[in-house]
A and B are shown apart, each in its own frame.
Chain A
Amino acid sequence: MIERIPDLVNADANLVRRGRFLSTTFLMEIGNQGYLIKIIEGRIVSITPGPFVTPNYSFALRAPRDEWEMFWKKVPEPGHNDIFALFKRGKLTIEGDLHPFMANLLYIKDVLAAPRKEAKQ
């Protein structure tokens, strides 16, 4: 799922426009597997899977694999439809420099949810 994010985001000119002031690298953990997601001016330029030696990122989002899978369903169930729902249930943690995350929240939520566009169910 996660490897489809760059194509899905970069093909969406409106989403890229909304993220045009964001250039950062953040860490996403799906269970024990980490990925560094590099964004330049709203475009996803790379997703690099770990393991990492001294990873450098602004903020990290970590959740179990089954939570991300539920999150990426075409129509997610209640409690699984938004990363804030995952925070509230204690399933997703965020740490680091939250400024790029909060200042671009609507954009980042749509980047994270991009795999839903191709979900079968």
Chain B
Amino acid sequence: MSPRFEPITGRYLNLTLLGRPHRLYIEEAGQGIPLLCLHTAGSDGRQYRGLLNDKRITDNYRVIVFDMPWHGKSSPPEGYQNEEYKLTSRGYIQMILEIAGALELDKPVVMGCSIGGRIVLYLAHQHAKRFRAIIGLESAAHVAPYYDVEWLHRPDVHGGEVSAGVVSGLIAPTAPDNHRWETLWHYLQSGPGIFKGDLHFYKVDGDIRGKIDEIDGRASNLYLLTGEYDYSCTSEGTLDIAKRTGAEAQIMKGLGHFPMSEDPQKFISYLLPVLEKIRGAA
């Protein structure tokens, strides 16, 4: 029997990000319109395994997923031991633009979830012309802290276990067990302090409430998809953005905060019509 490889190619990209050399892990599959995918805080690109393996998507889209620096198989930059990791809106925007540039992507579609769903609102606000369309998964303009993030990084609590514990309830109770625990595994594996450092953007630095009214959801082809079980980025928060920007929004039944990873098939049934619409407009 021949080896059962998935149709995904994984490679390491060397590039300069924010003025520092980086070694970044990137997976891709398919051909056609580039679809650049952004994972959630404290996780990595494996969240998009369902999309990368779905022919209905990869027949028309080149799905590209990178692990952010410090996440997954991407290394932290040299000298990381002498600094505290903190994601900022400025750094995150720059990272996405520089990676899209290094990959020479021509007007990609960008799709991000959670912190990725937040940063795409910044892209819609400041850089809409660089993207064919923008898809926000679990997008909220702001999330106020509802627990003390100091618990996520201290030597007397296992960082991976507590991070998984914090996010476990964000997965819909109806998600298949295998995908629920795969999703949690990415958190169980996360580097020390990385989830907390991403939440600096999510809960402190990345408050875009004051700029939502300046986003033109139609001109930027902004689509919003949010799971009904997400109590972090709520349905109400997403619908409010849609109302104020003119973006198209849909609340997804039976899904939570990690739709592409917790129940890939259910999520793809919501994503396909959006991708068809974007392709039709091209």
Contact = CB atoms under 8 A, between A and B. Distances in A.
Interface of A: 75-76, 78-79, 81-85, 87-89, 98-99, 102-103, 105-106, 109
Contacts of B165: 102, 105-106, 109
B170 A103 contact: no
Contacts of A89: 231
Contacts of A87: 146-147
Given A75-B173, A76-B173, A88-B146, A106 B164 contact: yes
Nearest to B157: A103
Given A82-B231, A99-B157, A105-B165, 18 more contacts: A75-B174, A81-B229, A82-B170, A84-B147, A84-B169, A84-B231, A88-B146, A88-B232, A89-B231, A98-B148, A102-B157, A102-B162, A105-B161, A105-B166, A106-B164, A106-B165, A109-B165, A109-B169
Q: What size tier do the contact residues of chain B reach?
A: 20 to 34
Interface of B: 146-148, 151, 156-158, 161-162, 164-166, 168-170, 172-174, 228-229, 231-232, 235
A78 B169 CA distance: 10
18 contacts: A78-B231, A81-B173, A82-B168, A82-B169, A84-B166, A84-B170, A88-B231, A98-B148, A99-B157, A102-B151, A102-B157, A102-B165, A103-B158, A103-B161, A103-B162, A105-B161, A106-B161, A109-B168
Given A102-B151, A103-B156, A78 B164 contact: no
Which of A78, A82, A88 neighbours the largest number of chain B CB atoms within 10 Å of its CB? A78
A102 B165 CA distance: 8
Nearest to A116: B173
Contacts of A79: 231
A106 B171 CA distance: 13
B59 to A, nearest CB: 34
A65 B103 CA distance: 55
Contacts of B172: 81
Contacts of A98: 148, 151
Contact of B146 (A75, A84, A109): A84
B192 to A, nearest CB: 15
Contacts of B173: 75-76, 81
Most A-side CB within 10 Å, residue of B148, B156, B161, B170? B161
A104 B93 CA distance: 35
A87 B151 CA distance: 16
A85 B264 CA distance: 23
A2 B168 CA distance: 22
